[in-house]
A = this chain, B = another copy of it.
Amino acid sequence: MNALGTHVMLELKGCNPQLLDDLSYIKSVMISAADGVGAQILGESFHQFYPQGVTGIVAIAESHLCIHTWPEYGYAAADIFTCGTSIKPQEAAQFIIEQLESQNPSIVELKRGLLPQFVPAR
C-alpha cells in the first residue's frame, strides 16, 4: 500500500543552546532546509519567546516543516512532512541536525495517508 506522504519527527537533544535561542538563525536553518531539498516555500511564521525559545513553522507546497526549541534543555522538537516522492525529508532532517549541532538526535518516520485507492504516479 502506498502512502501520500512521509512525516519525519526529530527529537534533537544535546543541541547548541545559543543557536536554539537565535530566531534569525533558526529561521535561516529551516528555510535553508526547505530550499535545500527543493521544496516550494508558501509561507512561514517564526516567533521568539522570553526568557527563551523559538517556534517556527514553514508551509511548503509539499506540506510543512516545524520547529520548537527549548534552549534551557539544549533540546528542539522538529517535524518535516512531505508528500510525493520528489522531496526527501530525511535530507532536510540531516541538515537540521547538523546546523543545530545536535549530539543526540533521534528520528521517527511515519507514513501518512496509507490509502488503498491511492496509486502513485510513476
Contact = CB atoms under 8 A, between A and B. Distances in A.
Interface of A: 4-5, 7, 9, 11, 13, 42-47, 49, 55-59, 61, 63-64, 66, 68, 70, 73, 75, 77, 79, 81, 83, 108, 110, 112-115, 117-118
A23 to B, nearest CB: 12
Interface SS of chain A: helix, strand, loop or mixed?
strand
B13 A115 contact: yes
B43 A73 contact: no
Contacts of A115: 13, 73, 75
Contacts of A57: 43, 45, 57-59, 64, 66
27 contacts: A4-B70, A4-B73, A4-B75, A4-B77, A5-B77, A7-B9, A11-B112, A11-B113, A13-B115, A42-B45, A43-B45, A43-B47, A43-B57, A44-B45, A46-B59, A47-B59, A47-B61, A57-B59, A57-B64, A63-B66, A66-B66, A66-B81, A70-B113, A73-B113, A73-B115, A73-B117, A77-B81
